[in-house]
A = this chain, B = another copy of it.
């Protein structure tokens, strides 16, 4: 259990219990990337580790997710042997994938709203020091 001394520390480094954090970003993120244009796994992996949009950059998880998407018909793949290095499996989003992305966005909008309500409640509690607002017990 982390010390808790540094209240603003990056929790992923020392607090395994925060593994139980809000997750499930990778899937819609993939679909969003692919709806901008086709890409192969390794490329997505690089974008992942660069940006901070998504926490999870595990290759195994990414590749498995892509394969799963293909099984579900959200993406289609083909081999690209053109450039140098080993062949790349290039993924393209399908219409169904775009529909999923849309549905996911709808869901994520709700999630964000929940998040905002939660954070507002939390801040009201800490600002009002003691939490006099709507206390029922």
Chain A residues with a Cβ under 8 A of chain B: 1-2, 4, 7-9, 11, 15, 17-18, 20-25, 27-29, 32, 35-39, 43, 52-54, 72, 96, 99-109, 111-112, 114-119, 121-122, 125-126, 131, 134-137
Contacts and interface: CB of A to CB of B under 8 A. Distances in A.
A116 B111 CA distance: 10
Contacts of A107: 11, 18, 21-22
A69 to B, nearest CB: 10
B115 A36 contact: no
B125 A36 contact: yes
The dominant DSSP class at the A interface is helix
Given A24-B20, A111-B22, A36 B99 contact: no
A76 to B, nearest CB: 15
Contact of A36 (B7, B23, B53, B137): B137
